[in-house]
Amino acid sequence: MATESDLSCSGLVRRFGNNAAVDHVSLDVPAGTFFSILGPSGCGKTTLLRLLAGFDKPDEGDIFIRGHRMNEVPPNKRPVNMVFQHLALFPTMSVGDNIGYGLKRKKVPAAERRKRIARVLEQVGLPELENRDPQELSGGQRQRVALARCLVLEPTLLLLDEPLGALDLKLREQMKIELKHLQKQFGTTFVYITHDQSEAMVMSDQVAVMKNGRFEQVAPPEELYRQPATPFVAGFVGDNNRLAGTVVSVADDVAAVRLSDGAVVRGRVASAGLAPGAQAELYIRPESLSFSQTAAGGGSSSLQTRVRTTLFDGANSRVEAESNGQALFARLPQDGTAPALTPDGHLELSWDPDLARVFGASPQ
Amino acid sequence: MNRWLPRTYLTLVYLLLYVPIVVLVVFSFNDSRTGYEWGGLSLRWYEALLNNRAMVQAMWNSLWLALSAATVSTLIGALTALALHRYRFRGKKVLNGMLFVVMMSPEIVLAISLLALFLLVGLQLGYVSLLLAHVTFCLPFVVITVMARLSGFDERLPEAARDLGANDFTMTRTVLIPVIMPALLAGWLLGFTLSLDDVVVSTFVSGPSYEILPLRIYSMVRVGLKPEVNALGTLLLVFSLVMLILSQWILLRSKR
């Protein structure tokens, strides 16, 4: 990448006892990007963030911010600020004093401080709220105060620890978009951790999927979605259907997999060393499945299923079908092209093998 | 009927609580020499009180003792509470339990053991022995008050302060102390009142060089109730009320 990295880590390790919460993680975040670390709870993402903020020290590896090694630098001396999961606004201070806290530590004169507080409040859409108590504000407003408190210091790097977790669904959707806009507006590099794949997908330029202390894949959201590198990523990012079986043949990067009931399905090979006879898993997205009446025919792969039920959810409506005891979800288009489905009725689902991905079976 | 029952009950409870105090205040302005006859309005007992040099001295002694005992126990107690809250160490549970032992054990036991200790180490009974004793029995109350406040303390606040550029000292000054301030004030006030009206422990550990008010009053009423005591009681009441209002005012102001 041409631009200089704002954050660069190599071989970071943090152990607690025998367990490595962060296990040889390397990452590189170019200036001005929105970088998310996505993983289930307990995957080590919070530990990683605390290493970056300086609240914890790595056992191995180095942290560089704009080329300066940060390992020994205490948190109050790092050009890094953090938005905490529960925001951690100071309850004994007004909104203005909260935002001015960092400026005061930097010995910015009072007049200049007031000006910058007013400006940043304007920028986050909360003008004239300096004198209010944080407790009097709504969840979304407090969120913005926590952001403003960091952004006013113009940090090189802003760390965000699942800050949207405490908000209700509607507000969260709104804040996702707003955060993305704010990041573009300020041009600050964001490192955002979350367990919510939709947050990561919507906001990020790059997403790292983390599992058991390691990065499984680092890629832009769309690549993560369309070309997951591992079965874990395929299952964790977005909805996916998983079919397990045995590889019968591999030709032109397309593998044919025989399921336990004898049906053969096909998909693009996604992991190396997939030979006939190997255990494999095929992943196919609900929206890639089409109903046979509308299928494109040709080289498509298909599966006979039985309808269990339909789940209406607006644009996200799905049908739940089963094949040999395995549940499969397919998106039901809401433009009138969906066939009439009756429970227990027969349904043939088909797909373009290029859209399905076949991995060697994961060890568990 | 149903409406009146709770009201009557409440009225009775409050009468029981406040009638003795009202009687004391009224009789402090009584011109009569005996404590149970009304002889007209007068300030003579206040005058007698202020002219009683030993009494005034005892009052100052008590105030000074209560101030210093409350302050010392608040300082030690707050640090103890912080240590118990923040760190995990061997014997933490034992230390925590021992606080309650001091609080729950009969005062007389504490008094006797303190006296025995002071005699053993050869400490002259007086201000120092009183201060040590009072700090001892005030301490658990301060620790428990501050710990209760700390239990609701967001552990991320100190980290947020450090993240925004504060060192440990600045963090403590600007974030930790303001948050626990109400508990510090409450603990201090609790200590102050406990110390001011303590009789049992003080009886054992005070010496002739440092006479304090509760003991002085106690020795006065032993030979019969003097109206001077009513005047003294009224003054103490006013003083406590002022302190109470002051503390509430400070608390209200710190919340805004």
- One domain for residues B128 and B107: yes
pLDDT of residue A1: 41
Contacts of A150 in chain B (CB under 8 A): 164
Does residue B247 have a pLDDT over 80?
Answer: no
CA distances from residue A135 to A89, B148, B151 in whole angstroms, order as listed: 9, 21, 19
Q: Taking chain A, what is the end-to-end CA distance rounded to the nearest angstrom?
A: 37
User: Taking residues A16-23, what's their average pLDDT?
Assistant: 91
pLDDT of residue A297: 55
Binary contact (A102, B154; C-beta < 8 A): no
pLDDT of residue A363: 55
Binary contact (A91, B165; C-beta < 8 A): no
pLDDT digits (tens, 9 = 90+) for B154-213: 889 999 999 999 999 999 999 999 989 888 988 998 899 899 889 999 999 998 889 898
User: Taking residues B63-88, what's their average pLDDT?
Assistant: 93
Q: Is residue B139 part of a domain?
A: yes
- One domain for residues B61 and B34: no
Nearest to A88 among B156, B170, B254 (CB): B156
pLDDT of residue A317: 87
pLDDT of residue A356: 92
Q: Is residue B191 part of a domain?
A: yes
pLDDT of residue A295: 47
Centre a 10 Å sphere on the Cβ of residue A181 and count the other Cβ atoms it contains: 11
State the DSSP H helix or E strand holding residue A29, giving kind and residue range, or none if neither.
strand A19-30
* Interface contact B122, partner A, CB < 8 A: no
pLDDT digits (tens, 9 = 90+) for A238-262: 889 999 999 998 888 889 999 988 8
- One domain for residues B12 and B112: no
Q: Is residue B129 part of a domain?
A: yes
pLDDT of residue B1: 60
pLDDT digits (tens, 9 = 90+) for A197-222: 889 999 999 999 999 999 999 999 99
Does residue A277 have a pLDDT over 80?
Answer: yes
A113 falls in which pLDDT band (50, 70, 90)?
A: very high
pLDDT of residue B224: 74
Q: Is residue B96 part of a domain?
A: yes
Q: Is residue B46 part of a domain?
A: no
Helices (H), chain A: 45-53, 95-105, 110-123, 139-151, 169-186, 197-203, 221-226, 231-236
> Chain-wide mean pLDDT for chain B?
88
User: Taking residues A223-248, what's their average pLDDT?
Assistant: 91
Distance CA B64, CA B70 (A): 10
- Between A298-312, B63-77, B79-93, the lowest mean confidence (pLDDT) is in A298-312
User: Taking residues A326-352, what's their average pLDDT?
Assistant: 83
pLDDT of residue A251: 85
Binary contact (A91, B179; C-beta < 8 A): yes
Q: Is residue B57 part of a domain?
A: yes
More confident residue, A339 or A237: A237
- One domain for residues B62 and B126: yes
- One domain for residues B25 and B117: no
Q: Is residue B247 part of a domain?
A: yes
Nearest to A81 among B164, B166, B179 (CB): B164
Give CA torsion, residues A333, A334, A337, A342, to 10 deg: 80
Contacts of B175 in chain A (CB under 8 A): 90, 92
A292 falls in which pLDDT band (50, 70, 90)?
A: low
- One domain for residues B144 and B232: yes
CATH number at residue B208: 1.10.3720.10
CA distances from residue A155 to A32, A84, A186, A360 in whole angstroms, order as listed: 11, 15, 10, 43
Q: Are A256 and A243 in contact (CB under 8 A)?
A: no
pLDDT of residue A261: 86
A2 falls in which pLDDT band (50, 70, 90)?
A: very low
- One domain for residues B82 and B22: no
* Interface contact B156, partner A, CB < 8 A: yes
Q: Is residue B45 part of a domain?
A: no
- One domain for residues B31 and B61: no
B52 falls in which pLDDT band (50, 70, 90)?
A: confident
- Owning domain of residue B115: 51-253
- One domain for residues B25 and B56: no
Task: Say how many CB pairs under 8 Å bridge A and B.
Answer: 61
User: Taking residues B85-98, what's their average pLDDT?
Assistant: 87
Tally of structural domains, chain B? 2
Identify the closest residue of chain A to B159 by CA–CA distance: A55
More confident residue, A340 or A20: A20
A90 falls in which pLDDT band (50, 70, 90)?
A: very high
pLDDT digits (tens, 9 = 90+) for B115-132: 999 999 999 899 999 999
- Between A44-58, B52-66, B221-235, the lowest mean confidence (pLDDT) is in B221-235
Beta carbons within 8 Å of A185's beta carbon, 6+ residues apart: A123
> Chain-wide mean pLDDT for chain A?
89
Q: Domains in chain A, start-ordered, CATH in brackets?
A: 5-233 (3.40.50.300), 240-360 (2.40.50.140)
Q: Percent of chain B at pLDDT above 70?
A: 97
Question: Using CA of residue B106, residue B109, residue B112, residue B118, what is the dihedral sign?
Answer: negative
pLDDT of residue A96: 94
pLDDT of residue B162: 93
- One domain for residues B26 and B105: no
Identify the closest residue of chain B to A88 by CA–CA distance: B157
Q: Which residues are A23's β-sheet partners?
A: A13
Does residue A301 have a pLDDT over 70?
Answer: yes
Does residue B225 have a pLDDT over 80?
Answer: no
- One domain for residues B120 and B209: yes
B244 falls in which pLDDT band (50, 70, 90)?
A: confident
Binary contact (B164, A86; C-beta < 8 A): no
DSSP single-letter state for residue A338: S
B35 falls in which pLDDT band (50, 70, 90)?
A: low
Centre a 10 Å sphere on the Cβ of residue B219 and count the other Cβ atoms it contains: 11
* Interface contact A136, partner B, CB < 8 A: no
pTM for this predicted structure: 0.80
- One domain for residues B32 and B82: no
